[in-house]
Structure 1
Amino acid sequence: MNQLKKPVIVAFTIITCLFSFSSCKKDSNNNSVDTDDPASADPTLTLVWSDEFNGSTIDTTKWNFEVNGDGGGNGEAQYYTARSTNAAIKDGKLVITARKENYSGKSYTSARLTTQNKAAYTYGRVEARIQLPTGRGMWPAFWMLSAKTPLEWPHDGEIDIMEAVGYRPDTTFSNIHCTAVGYGDLLPVPDYGRTYHVYATDWTADSLKFYVDDRLIVSYANAHLADATAAYNQWPFNHNFFMILNVAVGGAWGGINGIDDTIFPQAMSVDWVRVYQRK
């Protein structure tokens, strides 16, 4: 999910934790094990940032709303708003809703939230538990961009932890983008619109590994080239990146087979977002 994105297509239980009749969610001050989150049981990881969406409103100390109708640089059809009809906290979840409506010259609305200038990290395990929207024309994503200013894309890198396109209703994608390569893979996730899955990247100085429910999808290795310029062209993933959650409508990838106007509204529901780092 990038500026001027081109799709990368390559050879690509729920256990409810009950306590006082509420789901067991953790925050940055609680190191309890969450049975939905394999990383929470890893003794080598420390939780350094999270949003559990337990409040009544979106925490704007953690998230920014992008408000624009520029199509995300991908020719997308939506206008991103900061309205509660497009992004809100409901039942302990962040719900981003794409709607079919005329708004500021666009025929659809949705939301895109970022942690730019509020939370950015180098290395760690970055993950979110998400139930995805479905239907032709949907293009939800959980991804990261370089925190460098000014950003040079794709030179400074992009990490796509999860993307899905509605015309492939049984598949999620994980990709990276940099000057030298666009690289990724896919995984069949036939129930992504009916239940939650944990989408994650394990990011070190040596590699980026992508997972769905702790199942490895693909790994991209740092070649550790001696030539600094060549090394950065292939591995610009050595500095801070910030997180992005959005639901796009149509666009260069999501809209390849058009948009089905009978499916709206469609929502992406996010149970939590967490960042761990190695001890």
Structure 2
Amino acid sequence: MLLTAALTAGCANNQAPAGEPLDLCRYAIVFADEFDDLSIAPRVLGNERWTAHTPWNGDFGDAVFTDPRAGGPFAVRDGKLLITASKDGEGKWRSGLIAAADASGKGAGVQYGYFEARMKLPPGPGTWPAFWLISLKPAEDKRPKVEIDVIEYYGHRTDRYHVTGHVWYSRPDQDKTYRSGSRVPVEPGSLTGAFHTYGVRVEPGTITYYLDRKPVWQQPTPPEHQTPLYPLVNLALGSGYPIDETPDPSVLEVDYVRVYRPIEGAAGECRD
């Protein structure tokens, strides 16, 4: 498969894609959270912008994703969302995830466009923060589901992060599931020491990943991509790596999440 071939080439070469530079003046914002307030529902979007679990009940990792509540994993401070992983009174790890959709298929997203988050990652082994996208459709819809991991970071390796595209098939076609990914090298410790922007541009032919709005990798858009995509952000722990030395608490700081759609023949919003 084309995406499988891209996986090998991308990991081996890590070549930044050539081509047209990112120009946000050609895009319009269709969804943005600047985190001036907290707008997270447990599982059903009402007037809130986010839910606190994956809409398909697929929570993961070694920390329990917890509903918004007093003393819970979510807080807003100085225009930033703080997602905190910490141990509760029984010594059990709890953390948070936000998804701009719910199980009904209600949510915010576009099929083609640019998605970006500005974040400062938590230091320490065992941390597993991510900004990612997934197909916007009802949970019971069995069509293949596209997932794009704009950044997936493993805290024990401070010199890299991962970008990956997945196509998930449901039963009885699970054997058709496939993925494509690459490692993006960075200065050791740079992603936990400062804020950076992590973006992806999804077009009919290509998916291009960006770090601080500079392209770092590219892959073909899978033919299964037929619906809008919506954003998720989480601070998970583990992913098969030990968490016995994970700092308690660990905090992921999110400055904003934005979703843009392309505008043909018009000027959009050149937003910093």
Q: Same fold (TM over 0.5)?
A: yes
Deviation at 1:71, TM superposition (A): 7.8
1:197-216 superposed matches below 5 A: 197-216=196-215
Distance 1:203 1:238 in 2: 12
Deviation at 1:123, TM superposition (A): 0.9
Deviation at 1:263, TM superposition (A): 1.4
CA contact 1:71–1:79 (8 Å) conserved in 2: no
Show CA shifts across 1:159-214 (max 9, x none): 11111011112211111011463111122233101101100000111111101012
1:265 maps onto 2:246 in alignment = no
Structure 2 unaligned runs (5+)?
Answer: 1-6, 15-20, 42-47, 168-175, 264-272
CA contact 1:10–1:186 (8 Å) conserved in 2: yes
Distance 2:54 2:213 in 1: 34
Give the percent of matched residue pairs that are identical in Structure 1 and Structure 2: 29
Residue 237 of structure 2 corresponds to which residue in structure 1?
249
Distance 1:187 1:239 in 2: 27
Deviation at 1:67, TM superposition (A): 8.8
1:10 maps onto 2:22 in alignment = no
1:188 maps onto 2:223 in alignment = no
Residue 87 of structure 2 corresponds to which residue in structure 1?
100
1:240 maps onto 2:241 in alignment = no
Residue 219 of structure 1 corresponds to which residue in structure 2?
218
Deviation at 1:46, TM superposition (A): 1.2
Change (3 A) 1:136 1:152: farther
CA contact 1:125–1:275 (8 Å) conserved in 2: yes
Give TM-score, length-normalised by structure 2.
0.74
Question: Aligned-residue CA RMSD in angstroms?
Answer: 2.7
Q: Which amino acid aligns with 2:118?
A: R
Residue 80 of structure 1 corresponds to which residue in structure 2?
65
Show CA shifts across 1:26-48 (max 9, x none): xxxxxxxxxxxx96x63211112
1:132 maps onto 2:121 in alignment = yes
Aligned residues: 225
Change (3 A) 1:262 1:275: closer
Distance 1:43 1:193 in 2: 29
Deviation at 1:137, TM superposition (A): 0.8
CA contact 1:135–1:260 (8 Å) conserved in 2: no
Structure 1 unaligned runs (5+)?
Answer: 1-6, 13-37, 223-233
Show CA shifts across 1:65-122 (max 9, x none): 1299x8834xx2111112343111111101101112356xx72000011011231221
CA contact 1:64–1:115 (8 Å) conserved in 2: yes
1:275 maps onto 2:259 in alignment = yes
Give TM-score, length-normalised by structure 1.
0.73
Show CA shifts across 1:126-175 (max 9, x none): 0000000121111101111112222559x321111111011112211111
> Secondary structure of 1:246's match?
strand
> Secondary structure of 2:224's match?
coil
Distance 1:66 1:266 in 2: 19
